[in-house]
A and B are shown apart, each in its own frame.
Chain A
């Protein structure tokens, strides 16, 4: 869902009890510990491209080394939406940015990406993230908070790969969002 126009300015407009926790207040703006991906394989990029373009054949840039060598990229690169952080062993990263609250539904509201150098076979990524801010407001879902998180990716050379501002929506309501008017749509207004 759309990020608040001023996500840095926390507000408390909702009449219901706030969904902003003391932990969120304490961690706002604080970078978390970095994590590193495994080195990216050509196989990983090919699988991603096939899944993204299914059922059609993905662009040769993502799987044909001979062709990719003729492009300005000089070889295979990953699509901009590629994710090298899948399938960890053991503890999984909280998709809610580490601020999940029992009994509070959370949905993915959207993201805004800025891209730098492309990812290539052999690259690996270091990721850092921080809670950027939030905005509370009453929506037809009930008390709702739009939480924005900044996620920064650098490659093994320290080059900028991607900056993502993602928006996570949490709401406190006795009713689930309707199928015809899903939560995110209502929350955008």
Chain B
């Protein structure tokens, strides 16, 4: 079991560990290949300029990925990500340092799981929020509940009950 947190261990106001990346072509190109996103303004400075940037800029979808990764890394492999959303507010360029942070804004019990709502933000090295977001995560109620077979969802590994 790789629960990093359980519902009884977290409180409203708690912060997630920051999840950070320095953006670079090596990352963009891999993501472009995986997501079929070889759009000129992500690849060429001239196309980025034409699109209103100061050069080639990163994929907005990669900010969504930052949110997903930050939440997954905080909650652990066995938590259930039920919702993740974000807005795209600014371009990001090569060598930007983007950091996803978050905090718990609500928690409640629903059946055998604890639902935790998170407020998230990807911020650049200048402190500008480039992608605010939010998430809803299902956590096991406690480590004792995990030991007794109570997972984050309604029925362990059975996919039709997740």
Q: Are A and B bound to each other?
A: yes
Neighbouring A residues of B36 by C-beta, 8 Å: 83, 85-88
C-alpha spacing A73/B53, complex, angstroms: 42
CB within 8 Å of B: which of A142-189?
159, 165, 167, 176-179, 182-185, 188
- In contact, A53 and B69 (Cβ under 8 angstroms): yes
> Is A47 an interface residue, CB under 8 A from the partner?
yes
> Is A34 an interface residue, CB under 8 A from the partner?
no
> Is B72 an interface residue, CB under 8 A from the partner?
yes
> Is B26 an interface residue, CB under 8 A from the partner?
yes
CB within 8 Å of A: which of B139-162?
151-153, 156-157, 159-160, 162
> Is B14 an interface residue, CB under 8 A from the partner?
no
Neighbouring A residues of B162 by C-beta, 8 Å: 116-118
Neighbouring A residues of B52 by C-beta, 8 Å: 176-179, 182-183
- In contact, A188 and B89 (Cβ under 8 angstroms): yes
> Is A80 an interface residue, CB under 8 A from the partner?
yes
Q: Report the minimum CB–CB distance from B98 to chain A (whole Å).
A: 13
> Is B81 an interface residue, CB under 8 A from the partner?
yes
> Is A108 an interface residue, CB under 8 A from the partner?
yes
> Is B68 an interface residue, CB under 8 A from the partner?
yes
Q: Report the minimum CB–CB distance from A65 to chain B (whole Å).
A: 14
- In contact, A184 and B90 (Cβ under 8 angstroms): yes
CB within 8 Å of B: which of A69-83?
71-74, 79-81, 83
* A55-B84 CB under 8 A given contacts A81-B65, A108-B60, A185-B90: no
C-alpha spacing A176/B85, complex, angstroms: 27
**Per a CB cutoff under 8 Å, which of B51, B60, B72, B83 touches A112?**
B83
**Per a CB cutoff under 8 Å, which of A105, A110, A116 touches B85?**
A110
- In contact, A2 and B77 (Cβ under 8 angstroms): no
Sort chain B's interface into a size bin. Answer: 35 or more
> Is A115 an interface residue, CB under 8 A from the partner?
yes
* A51-B157 CB under 8 A given contacts A179-B53, A182-B90: no
**Per a CB cutoff under 8 Å, which of B30, B80, B89, B156 touches A184?**
B89
- Classify the interface of chain B: helix, strand, loop or mixed: mixed
C-alpha spacing A86/B50, complex, angstroms: 26
Q: Report the minimum CB–CB distance from A154 to chain B (whole Å).
A: 13
Q: How many residues of A contact B (CB 8 A)?
A: 51
Interface membership of chain A positions 22-52, coded 1 if the CB is closer than 8 angstroms to chain B and 0 otherwise: 0000000000000000000000000110111
B55, closest chain A residue (CB): A179
Neighbouring A residues of B159 by C-beta, 8 Å: 73-74, 117-118, 120, 159
Q: Report the minimum CB–CB distance from A172 to chain B (whole Å).
A: 14
- In contact, A1 and B77 (Cβ under 8 angstroms): no
A69, closest chain B residue (CB): B157
- In contact, A80 and B84 (Cβ under 8 angstroms): yes
- In contact, B160 and A51 (Cβ under 8 angstroms): no
C-alpha spacing A47/B30, complex, angstroms: 8
* A81-B64 CB under 8 A given contacts A110-B85, A184-B88: yes
A87, closest chain B residue (CB): B36
Q: Report the minimum CB–CB distance from A118 to chain B (whole Å).
A: 7
B29, closest chain A residue (CB): A51
- In contact, B81 and A109 (Cβ under 8 angstroms): no
A46, closest chain B residue (CB): B34
* A74-B157 CB under 8 A given contacts A52-B31, A52-B69, A108-B60: yes
